[in-house]
Each structure stands twice: as structure tokens, then as C-alpha cells.
Amino acid sequence: MEFKTLLFEKDAGIGILTLNRPKQLNAINGEMLTELSNAMDNIAADDEVKVLIITGGEKVFAAGGDIAFMSGADSLTAESFIALCHQAFDKVANLEKPVIAAIAGMALGGGCELSLCCDIRICSENATFAQPEINLGIIPGAGGTQRLARLIGPGWCKYLTMLGDPIDADTALRLGLVAKVVPPDQLMTEAKKIAAKLAAKPPGALRVLKKAINYGMNVDLASGLAFEQKVFALLFSTQDQKEGMKAFMEKRKPVYKGR
């Protein structure tokens, strides 16, 4: 896969997608969103990729949307842009493979919202998070009022989106916005370590696990439990379930084949 605003590489079942507009601090524009959408389609169809890491590099994750573009937009243009955001970000959120966000430096506005689409977020000690849209006379439009509230609760979501102030890595960890904080020089090493562990898990179980959690966030408890019951039972028809339990009984490591 070759793109203008993204870089992609894969090794040992791990795909790494890097936002690549360094002069613009990886600000998200229409071209990047189109390429991100296409990349997610390709990754979804690539059986060699078991786990995806999304990063912005060593200095910045993404400093939000492209303000130069948005400053001249009318309502119809703004809605079309956000629709494109939702299309691309939803593909990240719904990818049937684990997605890890490895965040260094700023994750502001749309950058923070992109990280919210990932299943696991880790960051470096120099990371900064914010939803500063209110300071521009607008609100978060790429999931910041929805995914962020579901992740850290409506109270903290309102605090961050209404004030627009940044928070540091330690605060993000305390709020549950990220799962782990590491020194900057260990960020990708840690992300790859987590990815390697995930790549060794049964892919079918990971897929339905992600679906069950995502589905349960949007329905009542009874509906979520009913869905969990069905997919739990479904896994007992897979070879990986047989292998996992047989390996446990035989005190050996399982070898999963995704069947």
C-alpha cells in the first residue's frame, strides 16, 4: 500500500500505520481521511495482518483537523468533511482485528478522536490530549462527544470538551483514556510487545470479543448479555476453542489457526 499521507508496514502479523504529514503536525485533512478509509479496507482484507498499530511517529500523533481548510468551510462543506471523518474512523473502530494507538506528543481534536476508535491506547510520557474545538467556536465532530463520553464518562467528557484544556499523560491514565504510559523511547517497543501478544491469541475469539464489547456499549444490559451468550456459545463450534482447551489440559502452548 502506497499513500501520500500515510505509511504502512507489516511484519510477523503486525501492521503499523503511521500518519505522515509531519510539516502539518499530522493534521487530518480530506486526503488523509480518504487514504485512511482505503487503508482500513485493505487491512481488513489482509489475512497476514493480525493486529494493527496506529501511530503518528515519535514527535506527534495528530494535532487535530486541518484548521486552514475548515476556516473557510460553510455548513454543507463542514458536514461533508465530518461525514468523511465518521466513515474512516468507523472503519478503524469496527475493524475485526485489534487496533492499538501508540501516541507520542500531541493528540488534539481529531487526533484524540482517532485514538478513541482504537481498542487499546498507550502513550509516551510526553503525550498531551485535548478536545479544544470549543475555543474555535465549534464542538468535537468526529466522535469526541460520543466515544469520549462512553470511555471516561459524561462528567469528564464535558469537563474536557467544555473547557478545551489539555491534559497530560498521567491524567489521561487516571481517567482511563489510555491503558499505559511509557518513556518516549519505549513507545513502539511496548506497542509491538502488546501487538505480538494479541497476534498469538485466537483471532475468531478476539473478533467476537470486540464485537460484543462494542455492541454492548450501545444497547441495554439485557440485550448486551443476550448477545454475549450467543457469541460465547458460537465459539464452541470452532477448532480454536478445541485447541485452546486441549492445550490447557495438556499443559502446552496452543497453536491457533483462525478456524
Residue 125 is a catalytic residue: no
Cβ neighbours around 252 below 10 Å, total: 9
Distance CA 239, CA 219 (A): 30
Catalytic residue among 31, 35, 113, 250: 113
DSSP of 86-152: HHHHHHHHH-SS-EEEEE-SEEETHHHHHHHTSSEEEEETT-EEE-GGGGGT----SSTTTHHHHHH
Task: Read off the DSSP letter of residue 185.
Answer: G
Catalytic residue among 9, 58, 79, 133: 133
Residues 100, 122 contacting (CB under 8 angstroms): yes
CB proximity list for 81: less than 8 A, separation 6 or greater: 30, 65, 69, 70, 73
Residue 133 is a catalytic residue: yes
Q: How far is CA 131 from CA 67, 117, 160, 175, in A?
A: 14, 15, 6, 15
Burial annotation 162-175 (CB, 10 A radius, 16+ → b, else e): eebebbebeebbeb
List, by residue number, the catalytic residues: 113, 133
